[in-house]
Amino acid sequence: MSEGFGEPEKSGRPVLQVLAAVGVMALVVGVLWAQKQFVPQKDTSSAPAACTVSHDRLPARYVSGARLCALLNRPDLPVLLGTPHERIETADGSGDWITMAGGTKIPSPDATVTLKTYSVKLSAAYDDVAVAETGDLLAGTRRTKVLGHPAVLYSSPTISIGFDLAGGKATSGPGGTARCVLVSQHTKDDGKGAFEVAIWRQDDVLPDDTALLRVAERVLRTAPGWDEGRPSDRPKAPAGT
């Protein structure tokens, strides 16, 4: 018996992240999946997912993995994704450093939640690279704005990871496509912080950009350090906010 999972590959700005992190995620997801198969589960259909946080050890001036997880782990997320009858099944966050080839360390906090149809990842970037510069390095990007902030939309391939419990083996290969939006933390694209939201589907169907932007707009307006800009620059909040 096998089960597959997807995780976006690191590209553009995420190229600065080490691919070894995918292996760590595969191990964690595999353990969680095995526990669901063999440990009796309580009926939690009406309960919110609990955030599992690991390696959350960044200085206080950076957003934590726990905070990013709390931002994503919200009861209206299924509605924003267009799957209102689903619920968040798992939620996790982490906040650690990655080390570049030259020895430079960059903070890399992120959080991921999963539903039956979608997975959503929220990360913060502190690499002093402007959003527009990142967009120039990626193919097929589309420049846009999110809540008045400069942003770029792009696609990223995912890695499919499968677990054969009978044979005790794990396999990996190409998965579906994630849609990502990278947004400047400030109303000016000054390179002093950015947030990225990525969504991908478990069935490998191309995600809906409308759903991606709905999630980004609702989540980022309450993100730590989010610059609202001048009152005249602020877009009107969507109905029901």
Torsion angle of C-alpha atoms 148, 150, 154, 156, degrees rounded to 10 = -100
Model pLDDT, residue 44: 41
- Residue 173 token pair: 């290969």
Model pLDDT, residue 171: 59
Model pLDDT, residue 130: 96
The helix/strand count (H/E) of the chain reads as 5, 9
41 vs 139, residue with greater confidence:
139
Sequence-distant (≥ 6) Cβ neighbours of residue 204 within 8 angstroms: 6, 160, 175, 176, 177
- Reference 64, options 124, 126, 129; nearest CA is 124
Sequence-distant (≥ 6) Cβ neighbours of residue 180 within 8 angstroms: 8, 153, 154, 155, 156, 196, 197, 198, 212
Which tens digits make up the pLDDT trace of 24-49? 333 333 433 344 444 444 444 445 68
Alpha carbons 49 and 54: distance in angstroms, whole number: 16
The mean-pLDDT minimum among 6-10, 43-47, 88-92, 102-106 falls in 43-47
Which tens digits make up the pLDDT trace of 117-135? 999 999 999 999 999 999 9
Model pLDDT, residue 8: 65
pLDDT category of residue 144 using cuts at 50, 70 and 90:
very high
Cβ pair 51, 94 in contact under 8 A: no
Say yes or no to pLDDT of 238 above 50.
no
16-20, 44-48, 136-140, 141-145: which has the highest mean pLDDT?
Answer: 141-145
- Reference 76, options 219, 238, 228, 178; nearest CA is 219
pLDDT category of residue 111 using cuts at 50, 70 and 90:
very high
The mean-pLDDT minimum among 45-59, 138-152, 191-205 falls in 45-59
Which tens digits make up the pLDDT trace of 57-69? 999 999 999 999 9
Say yes or no to pLDDT of 234 above 70.
no
The pLDDT of 199-203, averaged and rounded, is 95
pLDDT category of residue 97 using cuts at 50, 70 and 90:
very high
Which tens digits make up the pLDDT trace of 209-224? 999 999 999 999 999 9
